[in-house]
Copies of this chain bind each other. A is one copy, B any other.
């Protein structure tokens, strides 16, 4: 839009990328597998992570960093499940950055951790261009949002190694067209692994949990 702000944004993005690379190197050294979970507001990030922590936190030392503009609602929902939890409130900022993740980890401590989950701010645009040092970006898309979202938010979907279709228990009630949606995901992110699940009914959760367990065991060499 504006050459001046674009130049500065590029410089800031480059700085973020350097910080993210440093985080990724430290995760590798410490054997931590890190995922960055992104979606629209209300796609079910916290619901999925509640069930994920219920299953995995007792067996895998896990930390979770939760980003929101305001409130610590999500951190409270994720607390008490055996994982370390820290809420970042961005006070209007539309995404998390690597320096926020670094600051959160400095407070939480990384000793002995195997899995780090970052729940990003609910936004399908801005988090797409901010690497947080993760080994895997996981984008959620609920069946209530419409089949064309991968086409309309291609940067996010293109940069994701995993796409999770959530709330599949509502597919029939919403008239969700599964084939069209899967085709749209594949058109934008042909290599992404796709899961279809409902955190509420538990349908499809086993495949997601097995995949995560396997990735954590394999270490963080897969990038």
Contacts and interface: CB of A to CB of B under 8 A. Distances in A.
Nearest to A121: B125
A222 interface: no
Contacts of A153: 41, 69-70, 122
Contacts of A97: 1
Contacts of A4: 8
Contacts of A68: 152
A125 to B, nearest CB: 4
A52 interface: no
Interface residues of A, number: 41
Interface of A: 1-2, 4-5, 8-9, 12, 40-42, 68-71, 73, 92-94, 97, 121-126, 129, 142, 144-146, 148-149, 151-155, 167, 170, 173-174
Nearest to A144: B144
B8 A71 contact: no
A5 B8 contact: yes
Contacts of A5: 5, 8-9, 12
Contacts of A40: 40-42, 122, 145
B123 A124 contact: yes
A112 to B, nearest CB: 31
Nearest to A173: B173
